[in-house]
C-alpha cells in the first residue's frame, strides 16, 4: 500500500481514541503501551482469517470485521481471561472507502460491546487477509486450560454446536427462509462466550473453545489432560432451525464435526456442577453432554460416543484440518 494511502486509511478508519485508562499509548506511535493490572498476567492470542478459506468471498465487510475479533475473543474466553486490547493487521487488495467503513463498523461494534480497545496494527496491500491479536489479563491462579480435566468430570458445551456449519451450508447452497437466515447469522456473527469463561473460572477444571469441530477439539482437550471423554449423543443440544433444514444424520454430523462454532467446552467436577450450571448457565445456554473417564495408558486418550448407552463408531467424523490431504 502506498505510504500516503496507508496513513490516510489508518487515520480515517482505525484511529478512534481509546476509552480505556490502561491504554497509555494506542494507535499512532511505533508501538502501544498498555498497563496490565497488578497481580494479573497478560493473556495473548492471535488468529488470521483469509478470504475464501475462513469466510466465503463476498462476505459483507461488517461481518468480516466482527468475525476477525470474535474468533480471538473466543480464545480468551476459553482461558477465563478478561479481554482488553487488540491489534489489527489488514492486508487489502483494494482500498475501498465503503468496504473499510463497513469493516471498521463491524469491528468496533463488537470491540465496544466487550470493552476492547484497538491499540495498533499494520495495513498492507495484498490478498484479503485479516489478522487480529487479542490481549487481555487474568489471575494466574484462575486460568482455565485444556489440561485440567479429571476422570469423573462432567463435560459441558455452550450454545448449539453445528449451527455455524449449518449456516455455512445455507450460504453455499443459497437456502432461503427464516431458519436459513438464523443459521447464516450463527456462522457470520459468532458470539464469543466471554462471560461464560469468566463465570467458569472458579468452577471448571478445564476449558477450550470449539472452532474445528466438537469431537476433534474435545480430543485435543483429552490429549492435553491425559484422559478419555464419553459423549452421550442423545444429550447434544438440538436446534430447531437445523432440523428444519437438514436431516437428523446431517444435524448430528455438523454438531460433532462442523467447524466455526466458537462455543466453549468445560469439564467440571460433579460436586460443583449445580453451581456451574447456575452461574455459567445464566450467561448462555449450557448443556451437559458427557463425562471424562480415565485413560488406561498415556496413548489411550480420545473420545467415545454412545447413543442411549450403546457405543457408536464415529471414526468417519474428523475435524477440519487446514493441512489435511484431500480425501
Ligand atoms: P510502523 O511503520 O512504525 O510500523 P505504521 O505506519 O505501520 O507504523 O502504523 C502507524 C500506526 O498505526 C501504528 O501505531 C500502528 O500500530 C497503527 N496501525 C497501522 N495499521 C493499523 C490498523 N489496521 N489498525 C489499527 N492500527 C493500525
Ligand atoms: Mg507498519
- Which residue's CA is the closest to the ligand 1 atom numbered 2? 30
Alpha carbon of 44 to ligand 1 centroid (Å):
19
Per-residue model confidence (pLDDT) at position 2 = 52
Per-residue b or e along 282-300, where b marks 16 or more CB atoms closer than 10 Å to that residue's CB: ebbebbbbbbbeebeeeee
Phi/psi at 228 (5° precision):
-115, 160
Ligand 1 site-directed mutation target among 123, 125, 132, 135, most atoms within 8 Å of CB = 123
**Cα of 89 to ligand 1 centre, how many Å?**
8
Higher pLDDT, 299 or 118: 118
- Whether the CB of 123 sits within 6 Å of ligand 1: yes
| Mean pLDDT value across residues 102-114 | 98
pLDDT value, residue 221: 97
Closest by CA to 47, choosing from 71, 77, 28, is 71
pLDDT band at 18 (very low <50, low <70, confident <90, very high): confident
Buried b vs exposed e over 86-100: b needs ≥16 C-beta within 10 Å?
Answer: bbbbbbbeebeeebb
pLDDT at 143: 97
pTM score, whole prediction: 0.93
pLDDT reading at 327 higher than 60: no
Grid cell digits, residue 13: 478508519
Q: Give the residue, by CA position, lying nearest to ligand 1 atom 10.
A: 28
Average pLDDT over residues 92-96: 94
Q: How confident is the model at residue 324 (pLDDT cuts 50, 70, 90)?
A: low
Tell me the per-residue pLDDT of 254-279, one tens digit each, with 9 for 90 and over: 999 999 999 999 999 999 999 999 99
Which DSSP helix (H) or strand (E) runs through 135? strand 129-138
Determine the atom of ligand 1 nearest the C-alpha atom of 123.
20
- Asked whether 11 lines ligand 1 (CB < 6 A), one says no
Question: Ligand 2 centroid to 122 CA: how many Å?
Answer: 5
What's the confidence (pLDDT) of residue 246?
A: 96
For ligand 1, whether the C-beta of 28 sits within 6 Å is yes
Amino acid at each position: 500500500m502506498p505510504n500516503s494511502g496507508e496513513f490516510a486509511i489508518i487515520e480515517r478508519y482505525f484511529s478512534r481514541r481509546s476509552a480505556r485508562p490502561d491504554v497509555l499509548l494506542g494507535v499512532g506511535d511505533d508501538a502501544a503501551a498498555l498497563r496490565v493490572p497488578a497481580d494479573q498476567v497478560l493473556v495473548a492470542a492471535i488468529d488470521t482469517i483469509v478470504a475464501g478459506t475462513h469466510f466465503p468471498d463476498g462476505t459483507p465487510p461488517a461481518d468480516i470485521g466482527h468475525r476477525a475479533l470474535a474468533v480471538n475473543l473466543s480464545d480468551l474466553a476459553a482461558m477465563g481471561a478478561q479481554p482488553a486490547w487488540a491489534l489489527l493487521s489488514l492486508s487489502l487488495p483494494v482500498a475501498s472507502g465503503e468496504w473499510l467503513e463497513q469493516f471498521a463498523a463491524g469491528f468496533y461494534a463488537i470491540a465496544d460491546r466487550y470493552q476492547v480497545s484497538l491499540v495498533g496494527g499494520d495495513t498492507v496491500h495484498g490478498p484479503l487477509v485479516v489478522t487480529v491479536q487479542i490481549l487481555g489479563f487474568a489471575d494466574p491462579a484462575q486460568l482455565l486450560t485444556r489440561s485440567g480435566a479429571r476422570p469423573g468430570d462432567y463435560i459441558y458445551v455452550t450454545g448449539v454446536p453445528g449451527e455455524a456449519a449449518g449456516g455455512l451450508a445455507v450460504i453455499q447452497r443459497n437456502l432461503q427462509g427464516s431458519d436459513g437466515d438464523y443459521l447464516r447469522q450463527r456462522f457470520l456473527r459468532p458470539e464469543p462466550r466471554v462471560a461464560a469463561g469468566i463465570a467458569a473460572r472458579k468452577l471448571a477444571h478445564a476449558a477450550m473453545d470449539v472452532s474445528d469441530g466438537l469431537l476433534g477439539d474435545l480430543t485435543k482437550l483429552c490429549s492435553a489432560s491425559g484422559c478419555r471423554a464419553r459423549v452421550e449423543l442423545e444429550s447434544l443440544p438440538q436446534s430447531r432451525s437445523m432440523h428444519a433444514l437438514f436431516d437428523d444424520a446431517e444435524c448430528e454430523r455438523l454438531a460433532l464435526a462442523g467447524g466455526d462454532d466458537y462455543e466453549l467446552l468445560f469439564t467440571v467436577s460433579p460436586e460443583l456442577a449445580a453451581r456451574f450450571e447456575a452461574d455459567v448457565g445464566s450467561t448462555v445456554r449450557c448443556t451437559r453432554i458427557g463425562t471424562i473417564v480415565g485413560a488406561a495408558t498415556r496413548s489411550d486418550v480420545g473420545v467415545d460416543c454412545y447413543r442411549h448407552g450403546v457405543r457408536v463408531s464415529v471414526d468417519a467424523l474428523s475435524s477440519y484440518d487446514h493441512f489435511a490431504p484431500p480425501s
